[in-house]
Amino acid sequence: MNFVATLGASALVVSLACALVAIAASVYGHRAGRRDALAMGRRAIYAVAALNTLAISLLAYALLTDDFSIAHVASVSSSNMQTHMKWASLWSGQPGSLLFWTWMMSVWMAAFVRITVPKIPWGAPHAVATAGAIIASFLFASAFFASPFRMSPVTPADGQGLNPLLVDPGMLIHPPFLLTGLVSTAIPFIVGAAALMAGKIDNAWIRHARGWALGSFLVLSIGNVLGGWWAYTVLGWGGYWGWDPVENSAILPLLPLVGFLHALVVQERRGMLKAWNLVLVLAAFALAVFGTFNVRSGLVASVHSFAQSEVGPYFLVLVGMVLVASVVLMVWRLPRMHSDYEFESLVSRETSLILNTYVMVAIALVVLGGTLFPVFSELFRDVRITVGPPFYNDVAGPLLLIMVLLMGIGTILPWRKAAPGLLQRRFAAPVLATLVATAALFVLGVRDVFAIATLAAAILVIVASLREYAVGTKALRTARGASWPAAFGGIFNRDPSRYGGYLVHIGVAVMAISVVATNVYQEQHRVVVSPGETFEAGGYTMRFEDLVVRRPGVDGIESDIVAQVTILDGDRVVDVMEPGRRFFTNFPDQPTAIVDVEGNLQRDLYMFVQGWDEDRLTELQVFVNPLQQWLWIGSGIFVAGGLLAFAPFRAPRRVEVTATETPPGTQPA
Ligand code: HEM
């Protein structure tokens, strides 16, 4: 008997039992008015987190000690894998990623039960029971359908090793962020569901859901950016986003989350969008579960691959249950969801925020439609039609442009309604600065209409946000007689969500500029060269020196064959790049690309090797990606803004006056 496997499998089964206890104790405690039962329900959630932590620690131990008698360890690890790659194999493969997902979800739930449940007495039992039901569903799959503790039929001398595409240090951070981002969408869902069950559809639930939604949004955004970075530096096709079904699954829940973060401000300040906010949190979690099902079932590879996966159909049932439960709850409580106020003017911040949520939902529908299109085409027409990047670029591209434009306009518009004089004053400087910058771009040679429009919208966002910082800082300085730096710091303290949010917007705008530059102005060169031969690309002379063979002897790598290419600017050596191909002992048919990137703020030189012949005649692909690094810089600004926004709402915030500029947070109603 394998002690580790037996203990791990038992931990999962006992954990499932605890999750069921959490449901039963909460329901009973609520009905019978028994506080001890309610406390037991909460403790059961802590027990689930503890037992899942034990289970994942045991799996990590089995991986680190090369226990190949456990089938999962034998299929994703091997004895010559380095320790950090063994850690990365913990969340790879179906059983590993499902256990990670379940463990992480239970940790978030335990934190939620500790931090938020005591603050929502009106919905505490509902929230704990919902958490128990969700975690029980995943534990059931992890314990019985895809257990990571199944034994190998025969213990192999060595493991198979990690899938070649995953042998990269990026695997240490990208999947944990993504999986954590996806599971964390459960918490706003739980708060929303508890509000619906308890019939408490006022602003209380959004205040408690906001921090969790913002955290989930941030972690999921970081996961997506890391995914783009991994695709860029590992996959070797010159880009970072290919609208692949798996990428789509990861971005889908993010869109309703962004919508929620904006719609909640409208509910908080104006008592509107109550139903919409609930729909958005419910949709974010439903899409996260859909994504898990989509990735796991092989649905997008072939509609008939349902049967190939043990957990795929199970997840489909889960998605169905989440959807049905959400719709039933919504319909039940709809009569209570009336708005406290009506629109006063279409030209207002409310309108821009509402349009924002519509744009987010529209983008989500396009991405979902594109992802599922092959399935429906096969079901109804028996032809598998896959939609690729051109579809998304044509349909989602304009929506993204509208999103950036709205972001700029929304930042400038005041709440409720605006006197014409005020509108003129607020719009004048940002619009003028945008026009000047756009004209400069035109003079510099930017002619593509889509590029000009998006760049102009992005510049508007940046200028409008900077203006907000300037106005807020000036007003606070005048009100408090503070120094400029103190007043600037003060505005974040007074209204973190607003000023942090503007920094997120600046990050998005910087990313949009990079996306336009890399998509519209990317240069591609394909050359076939012999050793010693030179070629020109990106304004440089490049000399292919020769192919070199290396044998790192770790991570299942048989050999790395790299092409040494010297980059010359005149006579000056800028860099020696070493793109190549990596071959794996246990996966002879799956060599991977070794990408080399030489970057600065203006452009990335991106190089990979397509192939070579016996005379070392080598085919190289060189991409010049303008402003690529700004994508990562923009992401950094985005994350910094998200972290700054991460502060609790202050006492009921009031609506900004429309006639004058006032210090942030001091506006009268
Ligand atoms: C589509 C047009 C958009 C508009 C009109 C808009 C508008 C706004 C406004 C007015 C605020 C400040 C709210 C307040 O006063 O507290 C805000 C906050 C924020 N925005 Fe946007 N935004 C848009 C798009 C985006 C996008 C695409 C993202 C990120 C991907 C984003 C991320 C955020 C974040 C994280 C906050 C802070 C929210 C919070 O702390 O609760 N926004 N947005």
- What is the rounded distance in angstroms from the CA atom of residue 471 to the CA atom of residue 426? 10
The two tokens of residue 348 are 């207002």
Instruction: Give the Å distance between the CA of 611 and the centre of ligand 1.
Output: 46
The whole-number average pLDDT for the span 216-234 is 94
Name the residue of 206, 260, 261 whose CB sits within 8 Å of the most ligand 1 atoms, as the mutation to test its pocket. Answer: 261
**Per-residue model confidence as pLDDT tens digits over 320-354:** 999 999 999 999 998 888 777 777 777 888 899 99
- pLDDT, greater one: 1 or 518: 518
**Per-residue model confidence as pLDDT tens digits over 246-301:** 889 999 999 999 999 999 999 988 888 899 999 999 999 999 998 877 776 555 55
Can you give the pLDDT at residue 620?
97
Instruction: Give the Å distance between the CA of 502 and the centre of ligand 1.
Output: 7
Would you say 598 and 604 are in contact if contact means Cβ atoms under 8 Å apart? yes
Q: Which ranges of 65-200 would DSSP assign to H, the alpha helix?
A: 71-76, 83-89, 93-115, 124-140, 174-184, 186-198
pLDDT of 561 strictly over 90: yes
Would you say 380 and 402 are in contact if contact means Cβ atoms under 8 Å apart? no
Burial tier of 308 (Cβ tally within 10 Å: 0-12, 13-18, 19+): exposed
Instruction: Give the Å distance between the CA of 462 and the centre of ligand 1.
Output: 13
The pair phi, psi for residue 380, each rounded to 5°, is -95, -30
- Output the residue whose Cα is nearest ligand 1's atom 36: 501
* CA distance readout (Å), 70 to 26, 167, 531, 589: 37, 21, 48, 26
Burial tier of 408 (Cβ tally within 10 Å: 0-12, 13-18, 19+): buried
The whole-number average pLDDT for the span 410-434 is 88
Position 480, amino acid:
R
Can you give the pLDDT at residue 659?
35
pLDDT of 462 strictly over 60: yes
pLDDT of 143 strictly over 90: yes
Instruction: Give the Å distance between the CA of 499 and the centre of ligand 1.
Output: 10
Closest atom, ligand 1, to C-alpha of 218: 35
pTM of model > 0.85: yes
- What is the rounded distance in angstroms from the CA atom of residue 7 to the CA atom of residue 412? 59
The whole-number average pLDDT for the span 423-434 is 92
Instruction: Give the Å distance between the CA of 262 and the centre of ligand 1.
Output: 6
pLDDT of 632 strictly over 90: yes
Name the residue of 407, 469, 511 whose CB sits within 8 Å of the most ligand 1 atoms, as the mutation to test its pocket. Answer: 407
- Output the residue whose Cα is nearest ligand 1's atom 24: 407
pLDDT band of residue 38 (cuts 50, 70, 90) is very high
> Residue 306 has what DSSP assignment?
G
> Whose CA is closest to 625, among 637, 612, 607, 609?
607
Would you say 176 and 112 are in contact if contact means Cβ atoms under 8 Å apart? no
143: CB partners within 8 A, 6+ apart: 9, 12, 13, 15, 16
Radius of gyration of the chain (CA): 27
- Output the residue whose Cα is nearest ligand 1's atom 9: 411
**Per-residue model confidence as pLDDT tens digits over 481-532:** 889 999 999 999 889 999 999 999 999 999 999 999 999 999 999 999 999 9
Cα–chain center distance at 223: 5
Instruction: Give the Å distance between the CA of 407 and the centre of ligand 1.
Output: 7
If you average pLDDT over every residue of the chain, what do you get?
90
The whole-number average pLDDT for the span 162-180 is 90
CA atoms within 13 A on the CB side of 288: 29
Instruction: Give the Å distance between the CA of 185 and the centre of ligand 1.
Output: 18
Can you give the pLDDT at residue 669?
26
The whole-number average pLDDT for the span 309-330 is 86
Would you say 540 and 578 are in contact if contact means Cβ atoms under 8 Å apart? no
pLDDT of 140 strictly over 90: yes
- pLDDT, greater one: 394 or 20: 20
**Per-residue model confidence as pLDDT tens digits over 235-256:** 888 889 988 888 899 999 999 9
Give the binding-site residues of ligand 1, using a 6 Å CB cut-off: 210, 214, 258, 261-262, 265, 349, 352-353, 356, 359, 403, 406-407, 410-411, 497-498, 500-501, 504-505, 508, 642, 645
